[in-house]
Chains A and B, each alone.
Chain A
Amino acid sequence: MIRTPYRLTRRGLLGHGLAAGGLAALPATRALAQTSDEGGRLRARLYADIQNLDPAFWTSASDALVMECIYAFAMQFETGTDQFTAQPVAFSRIEQVDDTHIEFELHEGIMYSGDYGEMTAEDVKFSYERIADPEVDSPYAEDWAQLDHVEVTGKYSGTIVLKAPFAPLFNSTLPATSGIILPQAAIEAAGGQFTTEPPVYSGPYRIRSWEPRTRVVLERNPDFTLFEVEFDEIELIPIEDPKTAELGFEAGDIDHAQTSISSMARYAETPPARGSFQRFTGLNYYWLGMNEGNADLADQNIRRAIQHGISREAVVEAAYLGAAEPAAGIIAPGLTGHREANLYDYDPERARQLLDEAGASGLRVSLAIQQTAEDLAAAQVIQALLADIGVMVQIDQYESGTFWSLGVESEGDQWRDLQLFLFSFTMQPDPSWATVWFTPAQVGVWNWQRFDNAEYAELHRAAASELDTEARAEMYVRMQDLMEESGDFVFLTFEPVGILTADGVEDAMRPDGTPILPRFTRS
């Protein structure tokens, strides 16, 4: 049998051409926020897909962003200010009556979805005691470490009873995910915990659909009355690469996105055509660590020489292209315990002298970094600066998974070879979140410097219970002094956050550049 091959005819060609032309002529998608006077859909970047929306087990900033939309938080941070000030949301009143007793009262009529009825003080008791319960083994149990119990005094009122004063309560517990209130019946119906399918909603939005790694669509919760919500829908698109998010924003596919660090200078100079750019100082702190457990760095004079050999200004300028300021600690501006000045500044002469005294002329060290443009730029400047004092630096780049195991003792003996490393940690807006990683208990876990100081450990413990803000601030400043005196740290910067917002949208941002999406309005 002879088969007739497909013939390319003129008619066929015209047909295909018209189809292709028609496809190309479709208008590019525009931001709904710009084209609709009311309701409409706000489209925002999600840094990664959601993974776990259980307040006791959430894993990422994306989870927290969505949880802030679907659950009524006990308290929420004010937006548009440079101070972290939290205001009650689900609570109508919250009052610290003494060091260990906090009275609260819920708004009446906060309704859960489904058949779970109204939010009551019993739900507060269940939710907070659940996270604190050792049997639940929540990674966030520390947020309620001092919780003794919650006493229910009425349908909507109760008292949070602590074992000891707990300063982070109003900074990083109640205004964060650990302050979310859920009904016991819903959690039990879900089998004790859940991941991406919340058994109940109480916030301004509820999940309409979730297409893994594609989009999360939230729709307005008609039962939510705690504050006015402007947009009918929020579409959250997981885009991990910030450059892709920038392109999506410029093409009009999204209304709100965080930029890459390398684009911040460009956007600051020339704002995008259909939107605005803002820069925030994030809570992420960035530093050069030195492993005092490494034989070559065991002498404190050598580590001190390296401290004196590094110009923070030069490193930060290279890595963040003018978008960030040099830091003097690990606690960001606006938080209790923020430190204004370093103890050991750039002084190459002193650095050379210390190296001579230590008999370490011609020292060779390795610098472990991740595969990011910022790390590489910073490392190259550090390499040049240290070469100037006679220390030869070899830069070792690692992909993130490998990098995060380098100083972990349970991974084997490789921590002994770790010398210098560039590190960045994120935190909640309470100083205890920054200092917790450098206690002796964290040596070989996340304290890769192996900084081991009893005074620091005691201050960390005591500061969590100190309710006097000034006294607490002094304690945290002293802790950062101890860190620097050890010679193990060169504090570099607090990472900047660049935000793009489409014309027609009024964003609502925390001081650190974290969006509170339900508070977004039209401008």
Chain B
Amino acid sequence: MLSYGLKRLGLSVAVVVIVIAALFVMIYAVPGDPARVALGPRASDALVAELRARLGLDLPIWSQILRFYGSILQGDLGRDVISGAPVLKVILAQLPDTLRLVGGAMLVAVVPGIVLGVISATHRGSAIDRLTSVLSVSVMAVPSFVIAIYLLLIFSINLGWFPAIGAGQGFWDVAHRLVLPSLALGLAWIGYTARILRASMLEVTGQSHVRTARAFGISDRRIMYDYVLRIAILPTITVLGLGIGQMLSGAVFAEIVFGRPGIGKLVYDAILARNYPVVTGTVLFTTVFFVAVNLAADLLIAWLDPRVRHDLAH
């Protein structure tokens, strides 16, 4: 198990290193002088040149990449070109809002998704199974930003139940303002979760250990929760791990439409403003987060599934 964990960790570090190198190449290829864009039209050439030197933009690309890796090891992600604030501080100020949003969306995806998946699997072929199937495909087919706008128009403007913009202050205000963006971001994942769990549960139900349990006279309910769901949930965990990456990228639209602060909006604005220290710092952060979540999902699966544990032990 330990060697498996270390191997996966090594792979994760390699992913981060490659993503950052690719990002630098993309930045290098994009036209537009970050120093000129950041300082505005009235800045003198001397000021622009000074900023270019400070950002290391006058260095060859390989040197910029190595310099950035060196800075990461020292915990320094550079400084925001425009405000001059440390990038780490800028990111950490935005992170809680994005984590809350992704967490809320995950809650929206997981709780109803698992409930519907279980109901569909246990009532296969019934009206509720067919209804769940149709609804799942429907919400998956509608783009999240369309859902977001309709949620706003109906629940904020027409009914006035939820605020339209902002992240709020204090627990209840924050929770209140989180409802619509979380729904917009997580709704499509209810369908994914329910469909995957249903298919997985039906597959496990036909396996021999379930038939054996039935032969021992164990109740259907206990078989379903202790023997079927425990194994069937594993592919869902993998998919939800990947889903966090999707939700992180989807956070951009939710943050724009709902006027919320967050990492997605931060990196979007930074790309347009050619604020590269913020771009690289944020991409590094989200890559590490995504890789860590997937690593955790893999380790969780290895821990939950006795067959994987057995394979790793031998």
Contact of A214 with B261 in the complex, beta carbons under 8 Å: yes
- Asked if B164 and A250 make an inter-chain contact with CB atoms under 8 angstroms apart, the answer reads yes
> Which A residues are CB-close (under 8 A) to B153?
247
Chain A residues with CB under 8 Å of B262's CB are 213
Residues on B with C-beta less than 8 A from A137 are: 44, 46-47
The smallest C-beta distance from A289 to any residue of chain B, in angstroms, reads 15
Which residues on the B side are within 8 Å of A411 (C-beta)? Answer: 31-33
A253 and B165 CA atoms in complex are apart in Å by 7
Partner of B271, one of A23, A401, A414: A401
> Is A213's CB under 8 angstroms from B265's CB?
yes
Between A and B, 7 residue pairs with Cβ closer than 8 Å are: A24-B179, A27-B160, A28-B161, A48-B269, A237-B259, A247-B152, A399-B272
A241 to B226, CA, bound (A): 50
Q: Which residues in A have their C-beta under 8 angstroms from that of B72?
A: none
Smallest CB gap from A240: residue in B: B269
Chain B CB within 8 A of A5 CB: yes
Q: B175 — nearest CB in chain A belongs to which residue?
A: A23
B226 x A52 contact (CB < 8 A)? no
Asked if B13 is at the interface (CB within 8 A of a chain A CB), the reply is no
Which residues of A does B touch, CB under 8 Å?
2, 5, 7-8, 23-29, 48, 51-52, 59, 137, 139-140, 142, 195-196, 211-215, 237-241, 244-245, 247-248, 250-254, 399-402, 404-406, 408, 410-411, 414, 437, 445-446
- Of chain A, the residue at the smallest CB distance from B47 is A137
Interface residues on B, range: 35 or more
Q: Does B195 contact A (CB under 8 A)?
A: no
Using known A-B contacts A214-B167, A251-B164, determine if residue A405 contacts B31 with beta carbons closer than 8 Å. yes
**Is B37 interfacial (CB 8 A cutoff)?**
yes
Given A211-B93, A401-B37, CB of A52 within 8 Å of CB of B82? yes
Q: Find out whether the CB atom of A247 lies under 8 angstroms from the CB atom of B165.
A: yes
CB distance from A398 to the nearest CB of B (A): 9
Q: Which residues of A contact B115 (CB under 8 A)?
A: 8
Q: Please tell me which stretch of B83-91, B199-207, B236-244, B295-303 contacts chain A, meaning at least 4 of its Cβ atoms lie within 8 angstroms of it.
A: B83-91
A248–B168 Cα distance when bound, in Å, is 13
Q: For residues 44 through 64 of chain B, which have their beta carbon under 8 Å from a beta carbon of chain A?
A: 44, 46-47
Summed over the interface, the residue pairs from A and B with CB atoms below 8 Å come to a total of: 143
Find the residue from A253, A254, A437 having the highest chain B CB count within 10 A. A253
- A59-B40, A247-B157, A253-B165 are known contacts. Are A51 and B82 too (CB-CB below 8 A)? yes
- Check if B273 is an interface residue, CB within 8 A of chain A: yes
Q: Which residue of A lies closest to B84 (CB)?
A: A195
Cβ-based interface call for B283 (8 A): no
Q: Which residues of B contact A26 (CB under 8 A)?
A: 161, 172, 176
Q: What is the chain A residue whose CB lies nearest that of B178? A: A23
Q: A24-B161, A401-B272 given as contacts; is B42 within 8 A of A140 (CB)?
A: yes
Q: Does B17 contact A (CB under 8 A)?
A: no
Nearest residue, chain A, Cβ from B159: A28
7 more contacts with CB within 8 A, not counting A5-B229, A28-B162, are A28-B156, A28-B161, A137-B47, A214-B167, A241-B257, A250-B157, A254-B165
Asked if B37 contacts A247 (CB within 8 A), the reply is: no
Query: Are the C-beta atoms of A244 and B165 separated by less than 8 Å?
Result: yes
Chain A hits for B44, CB < 8 A? 137, 139
Least CB separation from B266: chain A residue: A213
| B226: A residues at CB distance < 8 A | 2, 5
Residues of chain A with a CB closer than 8 A to B172's CB: 23, 26
Q: Nearest chain A CB to B123's CB is how many angstroms away?
A: 15
B97 is an interface residue with CB less than 8 A from chain A: yes
Decide if A5 touches B33 in the complex (CB within 8 Å). Answer: no
Closest to A193 in B: B84
- CB pair B229–A195 under 8 Å, yes or no, is no
At the interface, yes or no: B198 with Cβ under 8 Å from chain A? no
Q: In the complex, which residues of chain B have a beta carbon less than 8 angstroms from the beta carbon of A212?
A: 90, 93-94, 261
> B interface vs A, CB < 8 Å?
30-33, 36-37, 39-44, 46-47, 82-85, 90, 93-94, 97, 115, 152-153, 156-157, 160-167, 172, 175-176, 179, 225-226, 229-230, 256-259, 261-262, 265-266, 269, 271-274
A404→B37 CA distance, assembly (Å): 8
**CB atoms of A139 and B261 under 8 A apart:** no
Residues of B close to A8: CB separation below 8 A:
115
Query: Which residues of B are found within 8 Å of A237, using beta-carbon distances?
Result: 165-166, 259
Nearest-neighbour CB distance to chain A for B300, whole angstroms, equals 14
User: Is A248 within 8 A of B259, CB to CB?
Assistant: yes
Q: Give the interface SS of chain A, mostly helix, strand, loop or mixed.
A: loop
With known contacts A137-B44, A247-B165, A401-B272, A241–B259 Cβ distance under 8 A: yes
Closest to A48 in B: B269
Does the CB pair B83–A247 fall under 8 Å? Answer: no
Closest to B89 in A: A212
Residues of B within 8 A of A196 (CB): 83, 85
Residue of A nearest to B271 (CB): A401
Residue ID in chain B nearest A214 by CB atoms = B261
Q: How far is the CA of A29 from the CA of B161 in the complex (A)?
A: 9
Give A237 to B165 CA distance when docked, in angstroms: 9
Query: Please, how many angstroms separate the alpha-carbon atoms of A137 and B43 in the complex?
Result: 8
CA distance A411 to B31 in the complex (A): 8
- The CA-CA distance from A155 to B247 in the complex, in Å, is 61
> Quick check: B163 and A29 within 8 Å, CB to CB?
yes
**B156 contact set on A, CB distance < 8 A:** 28, 247, 250-251
Set of chain A residues within 8 Å of B37, measured between Cβ atoms: 401, 404-405
Task: List chain A residues, Cβ under 8 A from B259.
Answer: 237, 239, 241, 244-245, 248
* Residues B30 and A139 in contact, CB atoms below 8 Å apart: no
Contact A400 B31 (CB under 8 A): no
Interchain CB contact under 8 A, B160 and A28: yes
Give Cα A7 to B85, complex, Å. Answer: 48
Option from A139, A241, A251 in Cβ contact (under 8 Å) with B256 = A241
Q: Can you name the residue of chain A whose Cβ is closest to the Cβ of B260?
A: A214
Q: Kindly state the separation between the CA atoms of A25 and B257 in the bound complex, as whole angstroms.
A: 23
Closest to B94 in A: A213
Contact partner, B160, options A239, A251, A401, Cβ 8 Å: A251
A437 to B162, CA, bound (A): 47
User: Nearest Cβ in chain B — how far from A245, in angstroms?
Assistant: 7
Q: A137-B44, A139-B47, A410-B33 are in contact. Are A28 and B271 (CB under 8 A)?
A: no
Q: Are A247 and B32 in contact (CB under 8 A)?
A: no
Q: A446's contact among B41, B85, B161, B265, by CB below 8 Å, is which?
A: B41
Residues of B within 8 A of A254 (CB): 165
> Cβ of B33 and Cβ of A408 under 8 Å apart?
yes
Which residues of chain A are within 8 angstroms of B273 by Cβ–Cβ distance? 401
Given A139-B47, A214-B97, A247-B165, also A52-B33 (CB < 8 A): no
Partner among A5, A24, A139, A247 whose Cβ is within 8 Å of the Cβ of B164: A247
Closest B-chain residue to A143, C-beta based?
Answer: B42
**Are A142 and B31 in touch, CB under 8 angstroms?**
no
What is the chain B residue whose CB lies nearest that of A19?
B175
A214 touches B166 (CB 8 A): yes
- The answer for the CA separation of A245 and B85 in the assembled complex, in Å, is 27
Closest to B80 in A: A51
Q: B165–A23 contact, CB under 8 A?
A: no
Name the residue of chain A whose CB is nearest to the CB of B230.
Answer: A5
* Beta-carbon contact of B164 and A248 below 8 Å: yes
Q: Are B176 and A402 in contact (CB under 8 A)?
A: no
Given contacts A28-B162, A215-B166, A401-B274, contact A251 B157 (CB under 8 A): yes
B166 touches A52 (CB 8 A): no
Contacts of A139 in B (CB 8 A): 39-40, 42-44, 47
Contact A405 B33 (CB under 8 A): yes
Contact indicator A244/B82 (Cβ below 8 Å) = no
Q: Which residues of A contact B42 (CB under 8 A)?
A: 139-140, 142
Q: Which residue of A59, A248, A399, A410 is within 8 Å of B165 (Cβ)?
A: A248
A254 to B42, CA, bound (A): 33
